[in-house]
Chains A and B, each alone.
Chain A
Amino acid sequence: MELLNNLAIGFQVAITLQNLLYAFFGVLLGTLIGVLPGIGPVPTIAMLLPITYALPPVSALIMLAGIYYGAQYGGSTTAILVNLPGESSSVVTCIDGYQMARKGQAGKALATAAIGSFIAGTFATMLIAAFAPPLAEVALKFGPAEYFSLMVLGLIAAVVLASGSIVKAIGMIVLGLLLGIVGTDVNSGLQRYSFGIAELSDGIGFVTVAMGLFGFAEIIINLEFKGTREVFTKNVSGLWLKWKEFKEILPAIARGTAIGSCLGILPGGGALLSAFASYTVEKKIAKDPSRFGKGAIQGVAGPESANNAGAQTSFIPLLTLGIPPNAVMALMVGAMTIHSIQPGPQVMTSNPKLFWGLIVSMWIGNLMLVVLNLPLIRIWVLLLKVPYRLLYPAILLFCCIGVYSIQNNVFDVFLTAAFGILGWIFVKLECEPAPLLLGFILGPMMEENLRRALLLSRGDPTVFVTRPISAVMLGLALALLIVIALPFIRKKREEAFQEA
């Protein structure tokens, strides 16, 4: 009953004309930018973030959530039509989606992705509404020691579940934590790592870091890589499914949704991992696995549902614990802080309108995606035809204006250029930038909780293992690291990420 009450509050907030419009524009802009090849959700959100500064907090978050879904869906569209995943979680969609497009079934693949995403999104939203309150209640009992250990567990889990070298990824987290320290120390008022530069006294802006590492670096790498892209734009017709086809994909959608909802809550590549897992499951249980990789519709339906469900449930750790499980959620934390909302378990009680309004808007955003994308697909296709040589200067421009407008200061523009160079080096050395962004956002929080925990225990570090909840979380983090170091599991993990 309480759930219905809460949802009613949410609907009251979300179904105002103003907020519906912001959700709509968010989805529209997110798709518009997300559909551009080579731009994932992180730079998309970073780029569009300045637009939301002037809005009231609820509307701003609603619009951002819309942008996120739009960017996600835009990524699937490019995956299917151009074989270019906008982000890692649509890598899997490329496999069969692109093959379907080559067979002239692009419309069918796009419709499958949209319908699957909508069903998954609806289910996952219900899940958030049901599980967020009890989880937040638990989190409210956490002290600084528990919070510190939770962050350690979150960060470790985030790198274990993502692909790539663990040592490298943990290094990136630590580097991010260090970058997060830059600026005035809240306790002593001392300026750290600001080298007398006035612009650094407030710390490095997270848009600057995200835009440089993800936006600029991606453009540079794309320009280095010379390959011809084949865009399937001629046969985008028949954007609907027959009842028989719908029945065919429904089980795959259901399985994908279930997998995505569970895995999405976990930190790290929730969406990525769930897409991979779903694809593997579909392939395993198919009567004729050889169809996979050659345009099997289940190979689109499952992973697309899974990654959307995962994208949705990854809001759970953010909204209940205040801990971002992935790079996109890290940006959301930054956005909330700008509107002076400290994400965490207290938001639900102190600001129920914002909390439930956001959740209901998630569902509305998903609905808008289907309503918006199927009719507008021709416009997105048109965008895909714009050659990259005209596209990337425009992307670069919007990044620059976005960064410049945050504080009306060109220092941020130069800093973004520097992060672009750093991002380029990271790509060359195969260092994933996502853990860095997580560390960067969590840095100040982690230091503060560590400091408080040790202050309360009078400098006794055993506080982290004598408090049961904290001990369990640190134990889990350690167990994850040990498990992943076992040769057998390590091999399995590498296989799992290479499977597709």
Chain B
Amino acid sequence: MTFIKSPKDFWAGILYIAFGTFAIVVALNYPIGSAGRMGPGYFPRALGIILIALGLILSLRALKLHGTPPVFGVYKPILVITASVVVFGLAAPFGGIVVATILLIIVSSAASDEFHWKEAVISSVLLAAFTVAAFSYGLKLQLPVWPWFIK
């Protein structure tokens, strides 16, 4: 796609247009009211229109102005880090923060190129102990500590 001269701006523009369109489409269900008696649909629609306009400016301008392309190619960190957070979220309510912490640390450690199993396991256990001591006992946050079957 050689006609896009500034890919970063172009795709940012497309992103804005997409968000703006989505905002307007959803807001169509909300009463718009009038300027003097604004309904809940008024402000979101106005913002959606502005966002689409800005997106159009960015994308169209990107066909003329030159810019550097975004650097992609390394996907391990984004995938592994996101996965580790999701695992934490899934584990916490049932497994308690001890299990969730251990899983989060081991999974997220794998995002690094210098991953060592032993190191990750040791650090996960230490951090789990610290978490319970600092957050549950120290700050008295009401979080489930142990899995549901140990109460």
A residues near B (Cβ < 8 Å) are 50-51, 54, 165, 167-168, 170-171, 174-175, 177-178, 181, 185, 187-188, 190, 192-193, 216, 219-221, 223-224, 226, 387-390, 392-394, 396-397, 400-401, 404-405, 408, 410, 413-414, 416-417, 420-421, 424-425, 428-431, 447, 450-451, 454-455, 457-461
User: Which of the residues A178, A188, A393, A428 comes within 8 Å of B109, measured between beta carbons?
Assistant: A393
Contact B143 A459 (CB under 8 A): no
Q: Does B143 contact A174, Cβ atoms closer than 8 Å?
A: no
Q: Is the CB of A413 within 8 A of B92?
A: yes
Contacts of A224 in B (CB 8 A): 74, 77
Kindly list 18 other residue pairs between chains A and B, CB separation below 8 angstroms, not including A219-B81, A392-B111: A54-B140, A167-B58, A168-B12, A216-B85, A219-B77, A221-B77, A224-B74, A224-B77, A397-B127, A401-B101, A401-B131, A404-B89, A417-B86, A417-B89, A428-B8, A429-B15, A447-B43, A455-B36
User: Could you tell me if B85 and A174 are in contact, using CB atoms closer than 8 angstroms?
Assistant: no
Number of A-B residue pairs, CB cutoff 8 Å, is 187
Contact of B108 among A393, A447, A458 (CB under 8 A): A393
Return chain B residues, CB-CB under 8 Å to A220.
77-78, 81
A424 touches B40 (CB 8 A): no
Rounded to whole angstroms, the CA-CA distance of A261 and B57 in the bound complex is 36
- Shortest C-beta distance, A451 to chain B (Å), equals 5
CB-defined A-B contacts under 8 Å, sample of 6: A171-B58, A192-B30, A193-B23, A393-B123, A396-B108, A451-B42
Are B23 and A400 interface neighbours, CB within 8 A?
A: no
Known: A392-B108, A458-B36. A175 touches B9 (CB 8 A): no
Docked-complex contact B88 and A223, CB < 8 angstroms: no
Given contacts A216-B85, A224-B77, contact A389 B51 (CB under 8 A): no
- Docked CA distance A447–B41 (Å): 11
Nearest first, the 10 closest Cβ-Cβ pairs linking A and B are A459-B36, A223-B77, A413-B89, A459-B35, A389-B112, A410-B89, A417-B85, A171-B54, A185-B40, A428-B70
- Bound-state CA distance A449–B54 (Å) is 23
- A459 vs B37: C-alpha distance in the bound complex, in angstroms? 7
B123 to chain A, nearest CB (A): 6
Size of interface on B: residues with Cβ below 8 Å to A: 73
Query: Within 8 Å CB of A404, what residues of B?
Result: 88-89, 92, 97, 143
B72 at the interface (CB under 8 A from A): yes
> B55 touches which one: A171, A216, A390, A451 (CB < 8 A)?
A171
